[in-house]
Amino acid sequence: MRGTTFGSLQVRNYRLFTIGQLIKLLGTWMLFTAQDWLVLQLSDNSASALGVVTALQFMPVLLLTLYGGQLADRFDKRRLLLFANAGAAIVATLLGVLVVTGIVNLWWVFVTAALFGSISAIETPVRQSFVSELVGKELLPNALSLSSATFNTARIVGPAAAGVIIAALHDKTGPIFLLTAVLCTAPLISLARMSTAELFRVERDALAASEARTIDGLRYVRQRPDLSLAILLVFLVSLFGFNFQLTLAVLARVEFHVDAKYFGLLTTAMAIGALAGALASSRRRSRPSVYRVLAAAILFAGFESLVGVAPNFVIAVALLLPTGFFMIYFAQAANQRVQLGVDAAFRGRVMALYVLVFLGTTPIGSLIIGWCAERYGPRSGLWTGGLISLVAAVILGVLQLRRAHGRIHVAWRPRPSVHVHERAAGVPAVRPAVR
């Protein structure tokens, strides 16, 4: 088990990185939960206001992420992460002081959300591409999955802890923002303790590094259909399906009429499923096929649609478990397909494009889904996003089969399995899919 599921943790630098990220992400998810609750308090339960703050938090991804990828390919990723995490701690401190002193209003939340989003827009592509410098290529699939598991462990504990603290403090959120500021310093310690001599860095001449351009990364992806299809699918599913920060808060408070503690239970249920999906991905040792990515997207979209029509709170919680599982299983399969297929010289810029479509679509998607939730009811944000994601995955799957001159064959004996038959240059080939 240690050599497979948790193999990357034997590498000291990766172990330090994981510990620092886990502590910081716990605080980040507590901040997100408290921020959503604060917005609903200040706006009289307005789904549109929550959509605006979510959009402002993710809008910088559209503007700055590609630049962050360029920085990742030009400069020391470790130093960039030190600056970014220090900035996150400062912003969390600012918001905490505003809330505790009673100065805060909705506009201040908008400003701090935009600042936090700007820092994340630079930090995320740098962090994702930095993983490849922490472990060797043979451990990279495992390291990517464990990083996702770390993220989702924080998603389990963070929102639940925030819900309990908010309830214990009688709906006060200020202390959570100040606690987040403290937790954001953990990566600073971890990064400072790393051994730079043990990093797996690709040596490139100084001129090539200084001339790393964003447009070259975009052209590189355009010339690689295996990368572009995965990134396009992530774009479509993220745009309409990955708006749970908005939809779950509105579902809990408006549809089910529950308090912060039970809102945390919704996000925790989804995160438990997501953690299971991340661990299921951690045993993968090779690049996932495009059909595995497509199948995971279809299953995720189907379960999200079912959450949107769940008749009560308990069933919604139960359905969020497989929804979270296939959400992260899809995201990890797409991430691994991109990272394990890209040249090291382009990794920062390609991962910036991946982050751009993964997170940068949230401002647009949250406004659309927020409008749907307010116009047609809180449930509509979920089933609409799920159905659109489902249609997008099916269409791309059909296009991939046509491009590869393939067909799907289902065999029920000796045990149920699905195979994708592809024909290239007149020679049939059989590619096993998910069983």
The token pair that represents 139 in the structure block: 């451990």
pLDDT at 408: 62
Contact 417, 258 (CB under 8 A): no
Of 59, 58, 23, 54, the closest CA to residue 36 belongs to: 54
> CB-side exposure of 264: number of CA atoms within 13 Å?
24
Angle, alpha carbons 42-46-52 (nearest 5°):
90
**Phi, psi (degrees; rounded to nearest 5) at 229:** -65, -45
Contact 268, 156 (CB under 8 A): yes
Per-residue exposure over 346-363, b if at least 16 CB sit within 10 Å of its own CB, e if not? bbbbbbbbbbbbbbbbbb
- With cut-offs at 50, 70 and 90, classify the pLDDT of residue 152: low
CB neighbours (10 Å) of residue 208?
Answer: 11
- Is the pLDDT higher at 93 or at 49? 93
Give domain limits for the chain.
7-403, 404-435
Q: Model-level pTM?
A: 0.68
Measured CA distances, 122 to 88, 111, 284 (Å): 11, 17, 28
Task: Express each pLDDT in 295-345 by its tens digit.
Answer: 999 999 999 888 888 888 888 888 989 998 998 889 888 888 887 777 777
Contact 350, 356 (CB under 8 A): no
- Is the pLDDT higher at 8 or at 79? 79
Contact 237, 299 (CB under 8 A): no
Measured CA distances, 224 to 221, 343, 407 (Å): 5, 11, 22
- What residues have CB less than 8 Å from 33, skipping those under 6 apart? 158, 159, 162, 163, 166, 176, 260, 263, 264, 267
pLDDT at 423 over 60: no
70 residue type, one letter: Q
- Is the pLDDT higher at 142 or at 369? 142
- With cut-offs at 50, 70 and 90, classify the pLDDT of residue 39: confident
- Residue corresponding to tokens 């220090």: 86
Query: Which DSSP symbol is given to 296?
Result: H
Start-end of H helices in 309-379: 313-339, 347-359, 362-376
Contact 313, 181 (CB under 8 A): no
Query: Which DSSP symbol is given to 427?
Result: E
Query: Which DSSP symbol is given to 414?
Result: S
pLDDT at 417: 55
- Residue corresponding to tokens 């505003």: 98
7-403 CATH choice from 3.40.50.10900, 1.10.620.20, 1.10.2020.10, 1.20.1250.20: 1.20.1250.20
Helices then strands, each counted (H, E), the chain: 17, 3
- With cut-offs at 50, 70 and 90, classify the pLDDT of residue 245: low
Contact 237, 297 (CB under 8 A): yes
